Structure 1
Amino acid sequence: MTTSTVQPLRHFKVPETAWVERQMPHYTGAERERVIERIKTLLKKQEATLVAHYYVHEDLQMIAEQTGGCVSDSLDMARFGKEHPASTLVVAGVRFMGETAKILSPEKRVIMPTLEAECSLDLGCPADEFIAFCDQHPDRTVVVYANTSAEVKARADYVATSSIAVKLVEHLKNEGKKILWAPDRHLGAYIQKTTGADMVLWDTACVVHDEFRTRALVDLKQEHPDAAVLVHPESPAGVIELADAVGSTSQLIKAARELPHETLIVATDSGIFYKMRQAAPHKTFLEAPTGGHSATCRSCAHCPWMAMNGLGNLLEVLEKGGNEIHVDETVRQGALRSTQRMLDFASSQHTLVLGRGDA
């Protein structure tokens, strides 16, 4: 396995989660209830459905649940938005999720609470550099993570989410293909180790998962010896090695429900705790330790761009419009090809088995 020389995180500045959250309006009591009810009314009036990722604030997840929308990982968000009859999709997440919705549903209006909600993996894989990198490896099948721009997806042969990435690469390996993977280097390394595939990796990382620390996790595990460790495979290899379950967001929620442990240490974005507590209400959930605390870390186990989604800007976009996602039609057609292959492959798998060998 070889790795590209593109340096991670050089193309952008990461906003601090604490700073982002201070800029967001916080509603309490009766005002919060008023805003929530107003959002529900506007969703119904506009024949819109709210599609929310597990990592956004729990108020948005709750509204999506209560209004017939969707709370899920990026794979099921994409499927749900495509299949739902609503004329407007409101995507609470990061920009690539809105783009994916538009790629699959060009006839629908796709809006987001904010268009400033980016993703470090997307930003760390600019299309022009990525296309040049692919051109250097013309013999490889290009598989890109869903956390990428429409332009990057248009250059790819397949899109993958963490829930199907291992199985997809294993399938391609069995067909005799060599793989070019982008953009997350930790997930790529995990896939390569699990499948033994011949892979070249793009070199960038998620600002949330890259911060989880092996030594600190060992110390926390010693404090809670009966706890299970749940890890997303975007985490560093040393953290993955300590896991009792490795998987996508949906698979980690399943693990939280099914594992016998009463205490769970979770190495992914803390926004997932809303659904984990629903799945296992009597269990205790602890954040896996990161490289810093408060202002000294970039994420503190919560994506600063996911934190840009809130009740205030959700209400504003429904009242005033704007924040609409547009994708160039030529780019969309190319991205649709690789994205549809992802959906078709996922459908062919039926049931994904949870465990250390699945991502």
Structure 2
Amino acid sequence: MNTSVADFVRDHLDGSHLQSHLTDAEQVEYREQIKALLKEQNAVLVAHYYTDPEIQALAEATGGCVSDSLEMARFGKEHPAQTLIVAGVKFMGETAKILSPEKTVLMPTLEATCSLDLGCPVDEFSAFCDQHPDREVVVYANTSAAVKARADWVVTSSIALELVEHLHSQGKKIIWAPDKYLGSYVQRETGADVLLWDSSCIVHEEFKAKGIEDLKKAYPDAAVLVHPESPDSVVQIADAVGSTSQLINAAKNMANDTFIVATDRGIFYKMKQMAPEKRFLEAPTGGNGATCRSCAHCPWMAMNALDNLAQELRVHQNEIHVTPELIEKAMIPLNRMLAFSEQLKQMKKGAA
């Protein structure tokens, strides 16, 4: 991440109000309020794997969705509820609105953004694309609606490899944005001609291969699970690399009893649910002198809390708005993503 974006991120977080600490009684009260409000308003809660456990549990208990950003987008589009409340970061709310423009899309806070989104301003990115008109523009889901509207394709980490392989087989050259580490991984795995934008995730870029190798010495039988937003040196020591959903499946299906997990620790809720007999260790991000050995939790995801979720359902002050012009443009690459994902599903079913 360049210095100006890093400074912006720090300033933004310094001024942000992270989730309050609620007592057990308050949590129970808020849960009951939210359940009632969801029912009254024909609303459904859609939560990302990186949100805190109480948010994920509530989404499951109320018939909502806990998933990665691709499945969140699909679920919100297909669910009959008129109102979607999206617990995640802002680009997820925007994606939900683009795919369901007729629905009301709310978020517990509009302050929850993403360093990848911040690191890819649309004016700079559009100028970059204009300099390379011979390339297919592929952007990661972790981008603004405006950046998506400039793209030919939107992808999530769960289908990035397959999509780039598909384009590469057609002889296409690619611009990839914004995550340089995921882009580097895709480039290495597919052999495609990929021009990388320079941005990164503030959580995943903190994982260090040396720290993981040291932890592996203490747990020699542990498998290392890595999200491809991590640096190349970390990806290269992984036993499994994949999106959040793919890492959860790996934890469930691999024979190992212990896992070192290099992604946001919010994922542990679902991993423990899917494989309760197994042990999950946070991959270290800090050295011996650090305030935390692993700081692997997105500070913006942590802004989603029971209290501001309940408040939003009462007052509707954080509604997501995307202009009709942007919706029309951004829907094209998003629908391509969903159609490509569905084709992959059908191919895998046919091969099973």
TM-score by length of 1: 0.92
1:292 and 1:300 in contact (8 A); partners too: no
**Whole-Å separation in 2 of the counterparts to 1:6 and 1:220:** 30
CA gap of 1:56–1:339, structure 2 versus 1, over 3 A, is: same
Partner residue, 2:138: 143
CA positional deviation for 1:296: 5.4
1:251-270: per-residue Cα shift (whole Å, max 9, x none)? 00000100111110000000
Distance in 2 between residues matched to 1:208 and 1:272, nearest whole Å: 13
Report the CA distance shift for 1:85/1:332 in structure 2 as closer, same or farther (over 3 A): same
Deviations 1:193-216 (A, max 9, x none): 000000100001000000000111
SS at match of 2:84: strand
Is the 8 Å Cα contact of residues 208 and 302 (structure 1) preserved in structure 2? yes
Alignment map for 1:58-77 (pairs within 5 Å): 58-77=53-72
Q: Is the 8 Å Cα contact of residues 290 and 300 (structure 1) preserved in structure 2?
A: yes
Distance 1:11 1:169 in 2: 32
Give ranges in structure 1 of 5+ residues lacking alignment.
354-359
2:196 corresponds in structure 1 to 201
1:144 partner SS: strand
The Cα of 1:294 is off from its aligned counterpart by: 9.8
For residues 13 and 347 of structure 1, the distance between their equivalents in structure 2, rounded to whole angstroms, comes to 35
Matched residue pairs, number?
348
Among candidates 127, 142, 155, match of residue 132 of structure 1: 127
1:14 counterpart (10, 35, 59): 10
Give a deviation string over 1:311-345, Cα, whole Å, max 9, x none: 11001101122100000111111110010000000
* Distance in 1, Cα, partners of 2:99 & 2:290: 38
> Contact between 1:6 and 1:202, CA under 8 Å: does it hold in 2?
no
1:31 Cα deviation after fit:
2.2
Displacement, 1:14? 3.1
2-structure distance, mates of 1:16, 1:259:
39
Once the two structures are TM-superposed, the CA of residue 291 in structure 1 deviates from its matched residue by 3.5
Alignment of 1:1-359 (within 5 A): 9-10=5-6, 12-14=8-10, 23-291=18-286, 300-350=295-345
Distance 1:153 1:46, change over 3 A: same
Identical columns (%): 63
Distance 2:288 2:31 in 1: 31
1:121 and 1:226, CA in 2 relative to 1: closer, same or farther beyond 3 A? same
SS at match of 1:14: helix
Cα deviation code 1:200-258 (max 9, x no counterpart): 00001000000000111110111100000000000001101111110000000000100
* Aligned residues of 1:17 and 1:300 also touching (Cα < 8 A): no
Segments of 5+ residues of structure 2 without an aligned counterpart are none
Q: Alpha-carbon deviation of 1:25?
A: 2.1
Mark the CA change 1:325 to 1:298 in structure 2 (over 3 Å): closer, same or farther: farther
8 Å CA contact retained: 1:265, 1:286? yes
Q: CA deviation at 1:12?
A: 1.8
Task: Answer yes or no: is the 8 Å Cα contact 2:284–2:293 preserved in 1.
Answer: no
Q: Deviations over 1:30-79 (max 9, x none)?
A: 22111111111100100000000000011110110011100000000000
Residue identity opposite 2:243 in structure 1: S
Q: Do the aligned residues in 1 keep the contact of 2:286 with 2:294 (CA within 8 Å)?
A: no
Compute the displacement of 1:298 (Å).
Answer: 12
CA contact (8 A) 2:283 2:294 kept: no
Q: Is the 8 A contact 1:89 1:108 kept in 2?
A: yes
1:15 deviates by: 6.4
Which stretch of structure 1 is more off in the superposition, 103-112 or 288-297?
288-297
Q: Tell me how far 1:188 sits from its aligned partner.
A: 0.2
SS, match of residue 319 in structure 2:
coil
Deviates more, 1:189-198 or 1:324-333: 324-333
Q: Is the 8 A contact 1:17 1:302 kept in 2?
A: no
Amino acid across the alignment from 2:308:
N
Alpha-carbon deviations, 1:95-138, whole Å to 9, x = none? Answer: 00000000000000000000000000000000000000000100
CA contact (8 A) 1:20 1:304 kept: no
TM-score (norm 2): 0.94
One-letter code aligned to 2:19: M
- Distance change (3 Å), C-alpha of 1:290 and 1:137: same
Q: Answer yes or no: is the 8 Å Cα contact 1:17–1:307 preserved in 2.
A: no
CA RMSD of aligned residues (A): 2.2
Aligned partners of 2:112 and 2:190: how far apart in 1? 33
